[in-house]
Amino acid sequence: MTYRVLTSISLALSLCLTSAACTAQTSHPKLIVVVTVDQLRGDLIQRYAPAFTGGLKRMLDEGYRFENGSHAHAITHTAAGHASISTGTFPSRSGIVANSWQQREGDTWTPMYAVEDPESPILGVEGAPGRSPRNLLRDGLADWVLSADPSAQVVSLSAKDRSAVTMAGRSRGQVYWTVPQVGRFVTSTYYRAEYPEWLNRFNAERMPGFVTDTVWENGVDEGSRGLARADSAVYENDGVHTTFPHHALEELDFGLPGALSSWNLGHPNADAAVFALAKEAIGALGLGRRGVVDYLSISLSATDYVGHGYGPFSQEQLDNLVRLDGGLGRFIDELDASVGTGGWVMALSADHGVQTMPEYLAAAGEPAVRVDWGERGRAIGSVVAEVERAVGTGDLLADSLAHRLEGSGLVEKAYTHRDLTRGEPADSFAALFQNSYFPGRAGGWISTKGVEVRFPPNHLVSGPTGTTHGSPYWYDRHVPIIFFGAGIEKGVSSDGVHTVDIAPTLAALAGISAPTDLDGRILIVP
């Protein structure tokens, strides 16, 4: 059985909400797989496609790809992106507005991490901060799967806690992430009272092989290395260790606890470990083979770790993505062997993109600049203090502060929270900030003063090397959205679609009911 890809999103909604089109098929895939590649900007798969021979190549060749997929919120952080993919709602409704934010408690603002929960300690790791979806205010695809059949298995895996937790929604499935310092996968008491034997065995027997490497070498063939820029740039990494091979003995501080494990889990080995654990979970739990629809989320973090240090066009990122391509290919083969061809359906996307190194853009003649984070922060802080002395607090402060910041040239545009919550948005960026705004959770610059700010495009406010994300610009919002498996017909669409469309689409393909009040839309119907 094949699925029909609709070029009109509104038509897809109409079909699914007014007819039996989404549930009429006689059989559905029994395993939903979501692969989220942290920081995989939307143009990178195509740029490096000639070097791929594995899973990314198969998805490009055989899947259905939306070229203009993006996030539709302004604060493009890992936790916010994963929650949008998982729940089908914007951060303004899921509550996950950033990786960390300031949370209002009465008249006081206190720091909050996206998956922080002191009441859910990590099993077997003394002193590690507790984790759970306590701050997530919406159910996700994993919850919908369990609502359809409580006997379903929900598994969510990542090197990062904020990725694994948010992709599992508010369910109490099998959710595992790494604590790099201890070099193994863990979970919290929110999910389990003890570790299953299959995970203990994996941690004991397999994990040592992923956390003891001391050299990272370039494995890309010579003929493909021209797809990336030269292997040495002073704006990479620490400004000194900028070329292959990378040696742990030269790049880490062995005086820190778990230094070697942390180094390995900040490089491609992080993804290799997650793929290996996913394969173990499929076998141990019988995913997709028990007659009910199961759910498996795999969030791959190495692209983000590598991208922050070396940038999207670096030899390091090319090597990392070639390795990811190989790992994904082997994982797809495992799905076919264990679950059966046609027994599973997959979506691949990313939680955010990334800004190209400004020095690289400037050398190519494009306007781009790196600005010292501390210097810019102090300048903005001075303006805030001056305005506060003059006008006090409240709406007048926000209005005056927005006006002064725009006039100072420190920001491109400032939006007050009052403006974001009344009437039509002033511009397309204001609409994105609306989708990131949740009252009482201040995720952006000076948000506790009632203002959100936007820097100029390709204006990187950071340290002296590396790059980052978090802006509302296309390079930070543009991500791949590809559906693959279970009879999906190959093709390409130029329609503008959003990551909140992924969860309802996968639910429809698997015959799972989804809430009717989502921000996302169904893109593909049976």
pLDDT at 372: 94
Calpha distance 392→102 (Å, rounded)? 20
pLDDT at 474: 98
Q: pLDDT, tens digit, for every residue of 238-250? A: 999 999 999 999 9
315 touches 218 (CB < 8 A): yes
Percent of the chain with pLDDT over 90: 89
Structure tokens at 154: 């929900």
pLDDT at 10: 38
**What is the separation, in whole angstroms, between the first and last Cα of the chain?**
9
The answer to whether residue 1 scores a pLDDT higher than 70 is: no
pLDDT at 525: 57
85 touches 167 (CB < 8 A): yes
Nearest 5 degrees, angle CA 189-CA 192-CA 196?
A: 135
Identify the band that residue 11 occupies on the pLDDT scale cut at 50, 70 and 90: very low
Identify the band that residue 177 occupies on the pLDDT scale cut at 50, 70 and 90: very high
pLDDT at 9: 36
Calpha distance 187→70 (Å, rounded)? 30
Q: pLDDT, tens digit, for every residue of 316-355? A: 999 999 999 999 999 999 999 999 999 999 999 999 999 9
Q: pLDDT, tens digit, for every residue of 179-221? A: 999 999 999 999 999 999 999 999 999 999 999 999 999 999 9
pLDDT at 526: 52
Spell out the domains of the chain, with CATH numbers in brackets: 4-15+29-353+478-525 (3.40.720.10), 361-462 (3.30.1360)
Mean pLDDT check: name the lowest of 173-187, 360-374, 389-403: 389-403
* Mean pLDDT for the chain overall: 93
Identify the band that residue 20 occupies on the pLDDT scale cut at 50, 70 and 90: very low
Per 3-state DSSP, the chain is made up of helix, strand and coil in percentages (nearest 5) of 40, 20, 40
Identify the band that residue 524 occupies on the pLDDT scale cut at 50, 70 and 90: confident
Structure tokens at 488: 């999906």
Q: pLDDT, tens digit, for every residue of 252-294? A: 988 888 999 999 999 999 999 999 999 999 999 999 999 999 9
Percent of the chain with pLDDT over 70: 95
Q: pLDDT, tens digit, for every residue of 35-47? A: 999 999 999 999 9
The answer to whether residue 152 scores a pLDDT higher than 70 is: yes
Cα separation values, 324 from 45, 71, 386, 475, Å: 11, 22, 50, 21
The answer to whether residue 18 scores a pLDDT higher than 50 is: no
Cα separation values, 100 from 75, 76, 90, 503, Å: 11, 12, 16, 24
The answer to whether residue 8 scores a pLDDT higher than 70 is: no
pLDDT at 319: 98
pLDDT at 349: 98
pLDDT at 19: 30
Mean pLDDT of 459-487: 96
Calpha distance 481→407 (Å, rounded)? 39
The answer to whether residue 438 scores a pLDDT higher than 70 is: yes
Mean pLDDT of 500-505: 98
Alpha helix (H) ranges present in 168-297? Answer: 197-205, 248-251, 259-264, 269-285
pLDDT at 425: 85
